[in-house]
Amino acid sequence: MEKHVLRVLLLTVLLMAASASAPAVELAASAEQVRPLLLGSKMPEVALRTTDGKQTSLRAQVDGKPAILVFYRGGWCPYCNLQLSDLRLIVKDVEALGYRLIAISPDRPEELSRTMSRDKLDYVLLSDSRAEALAAFGIGYRVDDATIEKYHGYGIDLEEASGESHHALPVPSVFIVDAQGILQFSYSHPDYKVRVPGSVVLAAAKAIAERKQYLKPES
């Protein structure tokens, strides 16, 4: 199945559509109703916070380099923690290709620090506690009251995790942008249990880097 997903995703990368969509600004009513940015879109400029609580921006963190942006639900989500650990296996490879690996969630900075320490992550985690990035990338939605109540039964408090009352979560997503901030690859799935494997992310990053090199004008 992973090989099939890889073929489909790489085909998407290589046949990237030229059209772009306007950045989304609203949170969807459910995970099934999100509308992620289209390939060819410009990376939204959004405010974020670092693990030590300092204000930053996505542009500053990307710093004019190609980047892999991973949106996850929070350190309380076991599927997210498995994905974050899986990404550790490709960090050196994607960095060798020139990419920055950045993971973003609604968790407040204190929660990010706990996640980094617990899982021994060696890449950047950023806080989107106000859900601005989730909305701008078109992957954010509001969790309904019934689900909030169910989460409480599991000891999960979204307001405590984010420090906000918006009850917003992202559909787990991966975006790859080039050095100009143009979206080259995306993968989102409304089922939070479905995650794109790190090996597929690495393969997509390699394909994009090779394509960019092939299309580079000769001096």
Tens digit of each residue's pLDDT (9 = 90 or more) over 48-82: 999 999 999 999 999 999 999 999 999 999 999 99
Q: What is the pLDDT of residues 170-185, one digit of tens each?
A: 999 999 999 999 999 9
Q: Are strands 183-188 and 173-177 parallel, antiparallel or unpaired?
A: antiparallel
Q: d(Cα 187, Cα 173) in Å, to the nearest integer?
A: 5
Fold designation for 2-211 = Glutaredoxin (3.40.30)
Q: Dihedral of CA 160/163/164/167: which sign?
A: negative
Task: Locate 140 and state its tokens.
Answer: 């954010």
Which tokens is 27 given?
């949170």
- pLDDT-based confidence at 17, cuts 50/70/90? very low
Buried b (16+ CB within 10 A) or exposed e, 20-37: eeebbeebbeebeebebb
d(CA 104, CA 124): 9
Give the HSE-up count for residue 23: Cα atoms under 13 Å, Cβ half-sphere: 14
Within 13 Å of residue 186, how many CA atoms lie on the same side as its CB? 21
**pTM across the whole model:** 0.86
Residues in contact with 206: Cβ distance below 8 Å, sequence separation at least 6, in sequence order: 97
For the chain, how big is the Rg over CA atoms in Å? 17
pLDDT at res. 21: 36
The token pair at 131 is 């859900």
Distance CA 48, CA 137 (A): 14
The answer to whether 203 and 211 are in contact (CB under 8 A) is: no
